[in-house]
A and B are shown apart, each in its own frame.
Chain A
Amino acid sequence: MIRAFAAGVASLLATLLVASVVIFAAMQVLPGDPAQVMLGVNARPDTLAALREQLGLDQPLAVRYWTWVSGLLTGNPGVSHTYAVPVSDLIAARLGVSLPLAALALALAVAIGLPLGMWAAARRGRAVDRGVLIVAQLGIAVPNFWLAMLLVLLFAVTLRWLPPGGFPGWDAGAGPALLALVLPAVALALPQSAILAQVMRQSLVDVLAQDFVRTARAKGLTRGQALRRHALRNAFIPILSVLGLQFPFLLAGTIIIENVFFLPGIGRLVFQAVNQRDLIVVQSVVMLLVAIVAVVNLLVGLAYAAVDPRVRRAA
């Protein structure tokens, strides 16, 4: 277990190192001079040069990369050109919206998808099973931002139960803030739960057909006991890997959904920063997102090892 953890952390660090180089390099080939963008086309050359110097843009590439990375490591990657505040403060504030949204959506997707999938598998081949499969097919095909619009149309515009968008901030109390996150989270969660339901159903059906379930029945276990004690735990193994694979999609979905609901999260931040050539913000946010994906992959790997003794030994 400790070895698996060490190996996972080592590969995580390698991934992050390579990612930082790739992201930094991608930023450098962007056309357009940030200083020019900030000061406008009529800026005088000496003002431009002064600003460049202030922003550190006159430094060699390697030095700028090192400044950025060492900043990342100490938790302060730099100061945003446009907001004139430390990037870490900016990101922290925006994460306060994006993280709760992603967590809420993930919890909802699991809470809806897994029971549906189990229900279908337990009644495989019957009407319930077909119904779940058809609903899941529909759910997978729905673009989440469109679903978000339809939800707004129904619950905000027509019924007026929930706010159509915007975010009151956590200072105004948890209630209104959570209320503002309900529709975005549902819009994100429903397509995800359709995928989870499908995978859960198939995985459970596959496991139920395996020999050890028959062995359990031959010991005198009832159908339900064999399902609960033997099939379910085995069926969760593919779910873990699907959760890992889905996470980047959830993150990307969060960025898009924030635009539908005008939520001041990471997604809005990265779009504004790209438009304003706020390189330090863009590269830091992208780095953060990649790091989150990589950490989630590591956690999924560890969860695998915790559930499956075969992986525990091999790793």
Chain B
Amino acid sequence: MTLLTVDNLEVDVAGRPILRGVGFTLTRGETLGIIGRSGSGKSMTALALMRLLPQDGQARGRIVFDGTDLLSLDEAAMCGIRGRRIGVVFQEPQSALNPLMTIGAQVAEGIRQHADVTRREAASLAAETLARAGLDPARVSPDRFPHELSGGQRQRVAIAMTVAMRPDIIIADEPTTALDVTTQARILDLLRTILRDDGPALLLISHDLGVVATMADRIAVMDEGRIVETGPTRGFAGRAHAPQVRTLIAAATLSREIAAPVPPLPEHTPAEHPPLLAAEAVSRRFGLPRAHPLAWRQYRRAVDQVSLSVQAGESVALIGESGSGKTTLASLMLGLQTPDAGRIAYRGQDIAGAGRDVLRRMRADVQAVFQDPYSSLDPRRKAGWIIAEPLHLAGPIAADERDERVAEALREVGLSPDDANKYPHAFSGGQRQRIAMARALVTRPRLVVLDEAVSSLDVVAQARILDLLARLRADHGLAYLFITHDLRVAKAIARRVAVMHDGRIVEEGMTAEVLTDPQHPYTRALLASQPDFSAFAA
């Protein structure tokens, strides 16, 4: 039975067309996954269904829910639908909750809005719902405030807020995007349980094909404000024909995009001693805020007695979730922070006591690309200037030679030498990471440390950058230390992996071995959280 029919939905925001002729249906109890790159109009579709568009937004077309066109309803009637009949779980668990209100009160508020219950009844119903969402009242009391919760717990609160009113449709807009993979898997489990127990229809919006492929009965692909492909999940990959969809699928599964498979190391490399760069039993701790001015300072060990080395020409992936200490370790190995204990050795020499010459050589040899493409380029400098910044390491350089090196680096990363005269804002996220890569390459280094260098990019841009990295390694014999939370990416790029958890390396070995036969429980949990594409690809 059809619960919701969207027909020829058009949305303009500030006069700019955002959605064009969007149409789909949703039957009772069904899960429809809407997938698309950022800016494709997915989230705007959710807001249009709830009639919560921005002030300057305008919707036309028909949204027929249970026999009524929502676009024809007045505001008061719409308030009766929102939450009660159609509920939303928004993307950012960080900002979607009111920081000044307890989580119990936020869940109870919606209940009292729609049902004639006393404050006390609403509170006990809220506590019940929070428990159902996996927040055990003994551990996470309803009297807690949002900032006292982890990201995953906050997302459980957001889900509880929505399911408390048992709506007919739940819209989940990127419900797991901001979360670690293991947390993501648990949140998806919770959604499945709720679907089974309450039987609502679910409109699951995500940019992550893995999430949609494991959850949805049917899939709709959005691109530039239109739906370009719809169909049942089972066998979707085989039937899809729109070119955007094919690219998306290939990129998400990293199937054919990686042109250069991991080449075996030349015979002599394992014998190289000492390694190019090594962390030897390094530790680093951070002081926590004091409880009061006279309290002893408490410390948290971000990195605890970790050893890790990278040989010339080798690519190593360091896998871990946020808070595992992997970024601190990268920062130590780059010499941006000093370890509290242990040492960082560049070609066997401790960089802490090294002279200027050694440090200059190391800087020229070991370069880095950081996570956020939007903050890693100085917005006030042109691309050419940015790329040339490390060139002073090789000593004074003439202007025309500098320009030539910049142009060469730009060509190397697949950009045009003319791009040197543009400011960073003129580039997309993927292009910015290419510029960051060009800056890292300009000194002709031996090793590039990539700290979550592709995590903030969408899958297509991600696959292209990985492709580029594989080619550069093949061309120049570059070594990589690739820091990531994404097993898929690690598998595509690295010969050896190290898994980091709570500041320690819990497992280390050849990629193929670790990922097929994990020893540590944490590695197993990581692997179990990987999306299952089998039905989708069947």
Contact = CB atoms under 8 A, between A and B. Distances in A.
| Interaction A to B | yes
Interface in B66-83: 75-76, 79-83
A141 interface: no
B52 A217 contact: yes
B114 A309 contact: no
A11 B292 CA distance: 12
Contacts of B84: 220
A219 B158 CA distance: 11
B138 interface: no
Q: How large is the interface on A (under 10, 10 to 19, 20 to 34, 35 or more residues)?
A: 20 to 34
A212 B96 contact: yes
Interface stretch (A227-235, A246-254, A287-295): A227-235
A219 B99 contact: no
B158 A309 contact: no
A95 B110 CA distance: 51
Contacts of A125: 55
Contact of B98 (A11, A234, A314): A234
Secondary structure call for the A interface = helix
B88 A218 contact: yes
A141 B518 CA distance: 70
A203 B527 CA distance: 45
B227 interface: no
Contact of A6 (B75, B96, B98, B292): B292
A309 B146 CA distance: 9
B145 interface: yes
A130 interface: no
B161 A219 contact: yes
A96 to B, nearest CB: 37
B292 A220 contact: no
A288 B98 CA distance: 40
A215 B158 CA distance: 9
A307 interface: yes
B80 A212 contact: no
Given A219-B113, A233-B100, A210 B95 contact: yes
A138 to B, nearest CB: 28
Contact of A219 (B76, B109, B291, B292): B109
Contact of B82 (A211, A217, A308): A217
Nearest to B86: A218
Nearest to B291: A3
Interface string A198-221: 000000000000111011111111
B147 to A, nearest CB: 5
Contact of B50 (A3, A218, A308): A218
Nearest to A213: B98
B97 interface: yes
Nearest to A234: B100
B373 interface: no
A222 B76 CA distance: 8
A215 B106 CA distance: 10
Contacts of B90: 211, 214-215, 218
A7 interface: yes
B370 to A, nearest CB: 27
Contacts of B292: 3, 6-7
Contacts of B92: 211
Interface in B107-165: 109-110, 113-114, 145, 147-148, 158, 161, 165
Contacts of B100: 233-234, 307-309
B188 to A, nearest CB: 21
A219 B148 contact: no
B289 interface: yes
A30 interface: no
B87 interface: yes
Contact of A215 (B55, B75, B96): B96
A310 interface: yes
Interface string A226-245: 00011001100000000000
B170 to A, nearest CB: 11
Interface string A110-152: 0000000000000001000000000000000000000000000
12 contacts: A6-B292, A211-B96, A215-B161, A216-B98, A219-B83, A220-B80, A220-B113, A222-B75, A222-B79, A234-B98, A310-B145, A313-B145
Given A230-B101, A313-B148, 20 more contacts: A3-B291, A6-B292, A7-B292, A210-B95, A211-B90, A212-B97, A212-B98, A215-B90, A217-B82, A219-B113, A220-B81, A220-B82, A220-B83, A234-B100, A309-B99, A309-B147, A309-B148, A310-B99, A310-B145, A313-B147
Interface of B: 50, 52, 55, 75-76, 79-84, 87-88, 90, 92, 95-101, 109-110, 113-114, 145, 147-148, 158, 161, 165, 289, 291-293
A-B pairs with the 9 shortest C-beta distances? A220-B83, A219-B110, A211-B95, A219-B83, A309-B145, A3-B292, A220-B82, A212-B98, A218-B88
